Amino acid sequence: MNFEKTISPLLALPRIPKRLIVLGVDAGLCTLTVWLAYFLRLGEWVPLSEDRVFPAIVSIALALPIFMAFGLYRTIFRFAGATAFLTTTKATLAYGLVYAAWFTALSSPGVPRTVGIIQPILLLLAVGSTRALAAYWLGGAYRHSLNSRRRDNILIYGAGSSGRQLFGAIANSVDMRVVGFLDDDPTLQNRTLNGLTIHSPENLLAIVERLKVNDILLAIPSAPRSRRNAIIEKLRNAQVGVRTLPGLMDLARGDVQASDIRELEIEDLLGRDIVAPDPGRMRQNTWGKVVLVTGAGGSIGSELCRQILNERPKILLLVESSEFALYAIHRSLNRRLADMGGEGELPRLVPLLASVDNRERIGKVMATWRPNTVYHAAAYKHVPIVEHNPIEGIRNNAIGTLVVALAAIAHQVDDFVLISTDKAVRPTNIMGASKRFAEMILQALAARQDGTRFVMVRFGNVLGSSGSVVPLFRQQIRDGGPVTITHEEITRYFMTIPEAAQLVIQAGAMAKGGEVFVLDMGEPVRIMDLARKMIELSGLILRNRENPAGDIEIKYIGLRPGEKLYEELLIGNNPQKTAHPRIMKASEAYSSWEMLAPVIQRMEAAIATGNVEQAREILKHIVPEYDSADGNVDWIDIERQAAAGQDGQSSPASLAS
């Protein structure tokens, strides 16, 4: 203990002083081993003076540069292992060859030839011994320092290669201490791995209590999502935090690092495996072509750009109205481009600031590059925001789609893919109704002409998008709650952003023109159940009437304007299967262009004059399923009516809750 206290200041020294100390020690060892070599050769102790000091000077002059070249002074001694000692041996052998050649093969006056052989052997033993002692003593002091700190006790679920790598990655962590393993394999249970017992998950609660476990780390990256979901369900009642490693493809790029450990995402709880994309369909509308993506900086738009870039288009046009979002996605794609290898010319990226309802700007973009494929992802999608700003929502979502679609026809675009939403089905809000209006515009244009193939792809919430409930819930849990939910029975469909983007590209390749494709989102998720899972898998206890001493409360704040309890993906009930198991085709009615054109003109006039009531009535007329019980909640109209002294209007502050 006293020795560890003595060397603790050494551990705290900066790197350069530590290296200077080691250099001084090695110089001393060079001198000492020369003296010992003389003793072994002559049988008596002799002073290192006159000619006898010369071999010591040569030893220092040779050894230190050679050791530096082999990287001996970059090693952290307290972590030194077999690899470090092998490097030390190689460096000393290289030194020994030069030293022996000098004093044995060539000789030096007054220096016995055998000194040139004996001294390198002694130096190898001396340097190796000092490294071993340093690893033992310094490592012991370091471990004692770690053990004196407050660290979380960790169980690793999975005793396979990933579990072993994870153990090695966090063995010297200042925050975590592994106290055991869990594994479903009966042949591994009750055996030891790295000196720790492999336990059966069936005894989880007793193990957690006995070992005082704080967290469980899932090291099962190759397990199917259904099995991961079953394991996570087992862990919910253990009142410990549950974290996980990345997927198998992430691990393939290198060994597991402690920094790879991440919080559970909702995709870990979906219980549905992703279908691998079809390379042929992914390339059909992208490989070697000019591809344009609107809303390129958004959640779906940016992932579409990443997936398309992987398929090597000739030119990728990034159209975005937000300067910062365009800068961010362009920078991200440029980094990917720098890492792309393979044969052929690399894709060209063109970042373009443009709003989709700007006819002149969109027309110039189309005329300049004449894209082969357009992915129209630009949309205002946050239901409460669009509900309070209806004119801009309709202008961007519906009229913006019309502008881009007409420009695509005029400049002979081959394929046009609209990113739609489940909120377009029997909409109760402006956002959903405006997206259904956009679908109807494309359906009418598809029936009117044969040049551009229009297709709509409809799906629900994507994980990790701006406004997603998962990061909101996680932050609320970190803050100690409450976790806020609009309604106890509210449900939503969820899909990962990469899977959604891949399916959009594949659906576009399957289009013949005019189809509404619907992505299979699996079963809807009850948001209440999601919040409860996230609380329990954070190692906390839900606070409610049955358990008033719990950690986190769930609070219901009421549905927001235009919000639905349940989302749907189909207007009708007759979806058709396609060649892809995750893509269905809907057969839904639409209006002809001749009927739609005058309605569009009236809508554009209402938008130009800012007439919210007229715009809402037109939307209700053209989208008969649109049913909103909230009335007009446009901020500008509310403020004007309040200023005019009208009674019975709610304030913006109350409507925003």
Residue 504: count other Cβ atoms within 10 Å of its Cβ: 26
CA–CA separation, 62 and 85 (whole Å): 19
CA distances (Å), origin 227, targets 358, 535, 609: 49, 21, 57
Report which of 424, 485, 434 is spatially closest to residue 460, judged by C-alpha positions. Answer: 424
Beta-carbon contacts of residue 657 (< 8 Å; ≥ 6 apart): 557, 558, 560
The single residue of 423, 533, 564, 585 carrying the catalytic annotation is 423
E strand residue ranges, 407-476: 415-419, 453-458, 461-463
- Cβ(458)–Cβ(507) under 8 Å? no
CA–CA separation, 84 and 74 (whole Å): 10
- Please give the mean pLDDT across all residues of the chain: 80
**Token pair of 392 as six digits:** 């801009």
Report which of 128, 100, 115 is spatially closest to residue 46, judged by C-alpha positions. Answer: 115
pTM, full prediction:
0.65
CA–CA separation, 291 and 415 (whole Å): 10
111-146 tens-digit pLDDT: 788 888 888 888 888 887 777 777 666 555 445 544
- Is 423 among the catalytic positions? yes
| Helix pair angle (497-510, 299-310), 10° resolution | 70
What pLDDT score was predicted for residue 301? 94
- Cβ(511)–Cβ(579) under 8 Å? no
409-440 tens-digit pLDDT: 999 999 999 999 888 888 889 999 999 999 99
- Cβ(417)–Cβ(508) under 8 Å? yes
Q: Residue 199 phi/psi, 5° resolution?
A: -100, 160
Q: What is the mean pLDDT of each run of 10 residues along the chain (657 residues)?
A: 50 66 82 84 76 80 84 58 71 85 77 82 82 64 49 82 77 74 87 86 86 84 73 77 60 44 57 73 93 94 94 96 96 90 82 96 97 96 91 96 97 95 88 94 93 90 66 81 84 79 90 85 78 76 80 83 63 71 80 93 95 92 83 81 63 42
